[in-house]
């Protein structure tokens, strides 16, 4: 029995929490980064309109980041991304009431995300690796795996490309479509881009595991 455990430990290059804890970890991160700002926006909008909603969402997300910093001495990357993107959007909305600048927040938010991912892609800490560790609690063994490192860098470039394409597409739509159609297509492009990126990243990850002979062990922690 002990020998089986030893073998499992040796081949386990990656560790994930069991499905229940994995869902809890991902859900908690998404609630902090998306759920709380959306709640803040809805309250602000109900009280004083959409601009107040944007301001409320930004305040909520930065307060959440501050609490995280005080409590854990670190701020999750997903929460930081949400805070920075909301700040860019809110600054544009508050700075001018012009319709053009209101619409411009969407391509600029995607451009900001593109820059954030691209900036870390060639480094030793690509953003996808940080998000995997924080959102789904993926842990690597002490033995570094060059193939896995390359996957995280390439996947980070993939997401930078997705957000760059979204930014260009939304900028073009601003000049071609009415406001209502633009907002509808913005939602579709955003959801579609995230969905495509998630599926491609997952398939790429599985392919990398098979190619480099990596194994995952589920832990109770």
144: left (phi over 0), alpha (psi -120 to 50) or beta: beta
- What would the pLDDT profile of 33-53 be if each residue is shown by its tens digit? 888 888 888 899 889 887 888
The percent of residues above 90 in pLDDT, for the chain, comes to: 18
Residue 77 structural domain = 2-219
pLDDT of residue 6: 39
For 70-94, what is the mean pLDDT?
84
Model confidence at 99, pLDDT cuts 50, 70, 90, reads low
Contact (CB, 8 A) for 56 and 43: yes
Q: How many domains does the chain have?
A: 1
Query: What pTM did the predictor assign?
Result: 0.73
Report the candidate in 28, 33, 21 with the shortest Cα–Cα distance to residue 65. Answer: 33
For 142-160, what is the mean pLDDT?
84
CA angle 187, 170, 110 (to 5 degrees): 80
State the virtual CA torsion across 34, 40, 41, 45 in degrees, nearest 10. Answer: 160
**Is a pLDDT exceeding 80 seen at residue 219?**
no
How many H-runs (helices) and E-runs (strands) does the chain carry?
9, 3
Model confidence at 139, pLDDT cuts 50, 70, 90, reads confident
The percent of residues above 70 in pLDDT, for the chain, comes to: 87
């Amino acid at each position: 029995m002990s020998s089986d455990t030893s073998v499992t430990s040796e081949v386990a290059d990656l560790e994930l929490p069991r499905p229940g804890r994995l869902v809890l970890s991902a859900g908690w991160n998404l609630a902090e980064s998306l759920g709380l700002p959306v709640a803040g926006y809805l309250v602000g909008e109900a009280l004083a309109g959409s601009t107040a909603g944007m301001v409320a969402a930004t305040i909520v997300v930065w307060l959440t980041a501050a609490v995280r910093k005080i409590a854990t001495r670190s701020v999750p990357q997903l929460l930081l991304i949400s805070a920075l993107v909301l700040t860019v959007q809110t600054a544009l909305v508050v700075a001018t009431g012009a319709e053009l600048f209101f619409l411009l927040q969407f391509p600029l938010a995607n451009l900001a995300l593109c820059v954030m991912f691209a900036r870390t892609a060639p480094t030793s800490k690509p953003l996808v690796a940080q998000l995997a560790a924080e959102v789904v609690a993926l842990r690597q063994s002490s033995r570094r795996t060059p193939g896995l490192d390359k996957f995280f860098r390439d996947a980070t470039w993939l997401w930078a490309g997705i957000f760059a394409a979204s930014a260009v597409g939304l900028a073009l739509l601003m000049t071609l479509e009415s406001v209502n159609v633009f907002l509808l297509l913005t939602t579709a492009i955003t959801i579609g881009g995230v969905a495509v990126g998630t599926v491609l990243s997952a398939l790429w990850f599985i392919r990398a595991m098979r190619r480099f002979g990596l194994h995952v062990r589920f832990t109770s922690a």
